[in-house]
Amino acid sequence: MEIGFVGLGNIGLPMARRLLDAGHAMVVCDLDAARVRRMADAGALPAGTAAEVAARVETVFTSLPSPPALEAVALGADGLTEGGAVRRLVDLSTVGPDTSRRVAAGLAEHGIAFVDAPVSGGVAGAANGTLALMVAAAPDERAAVEPVLAALGRVCAVGEEPGLGQVMKLLNNYLGATALAATAEAFVYGVKAGLDPAIMVDVVNAASGRNSATQDKFPRSVLPGTFDYGFAAGLMAKDVSLFAADAEARGVPLWVGAAVREVWRFTRDQLGPDADFTEVVRPFEVWAGVEVRERPG
């Protein structure tokens, strides 16, 4: 299948590479010329704008960092609507349901279908083809792209309306963000009281407190102090804020969510948006005067 791919960021690049390696002919575009060259060296065709991509292929994938970025690429100057060949956009970004609905409506005016398909699984999942893809689209559009999406991971159909994929992704990321923030707080408490963090990981994972942070993120990135999981604190703050805003707009109370949102905003502001999201433990460590790290021997 001939496909376009716009957005070769930390997760977009390995997704695009998997699709290329799966045998699909690709036209790629990104603001970072070095990333475009990497894909071109692997066999993709480079393009200067999203409109140029949309002028060459019927199906375009996007993986973009923010709602304004998606709206600009889809509907703005030199965007997809200015290309004559494109027939559908498959958006892999996390932008919130309101943005997905607006983009879908704008594209529909140009006869372009929209597939809402945010992903979860991080950089490693993108590279290994083990992502979860939360797809909301008309059945015929989902069927058209599902064989392509299968190269990226498990396709989970969540509905037909644009935005439902975003709702699923936001609540999933909120749960992950909550688990990571709460685990950071709990483990700092344990270390302050004298426990070995490696022992805490083993015990919690054998008990009822286990979660995605204790099973993966803490042993992989926090205890060794590498903080290299591959997802930015700024992006997590963005996702939690999108979740909170949409939940509040729907009249859903967020007693826990309000606190989680502030933790991630504080982490982003203190450590910078590009800090790894496992560094959420650092502010708790500073306040308590301890570090949650592996101990020699």
Apex 238 CA angle, 200 and 174, nearest 5: 45
96 exposed, middle or buried (CB, 10 Å; 0-12, 13-18, 19+)?
Answer: buried
- CA–CA separation, 169 and 135 (whole Å): 10
Query: 231: closest CA among 221, 241, 223?
Result: 221
Q: What are the start-end ranges of the H helices in 206-279?
A: 212, 233-249, 255-271
- CA–CA separation, 116 and 137 (whole Å): 6
Q: Which of 169, 192, 217, 238 is catalytic?
A: 169
Q: Is 169 part of the annotated catalytic residue set?
A: yes
Using CA atoms, how far residue 108 sits from 57, 87, 167, in Å, is 17, 10, 21
254 exposed, middle or buried (CB, 10 Å; 0-12, 13-18, 19+)?
Answer: middle
Q: How do beta strands 131-136 and 119-120 pair? A: antiparallel
Query: 291: closest CA among 150, 197, 152?
Result: 197
Q: Cβ(113)–Cβ(107) under 8 Å?
A: yes
Structure tokens at 59: 């199906």
Query: 153: closest CA among 120, 131, 172, 136?
Result: 131
φ, ψ of residue 114 to 5 degrees: the values are: -125, 130
φ, ψ of residue 68 to 5 degrees: the values are: -60, -35
| Active-site amino acid positions | 169
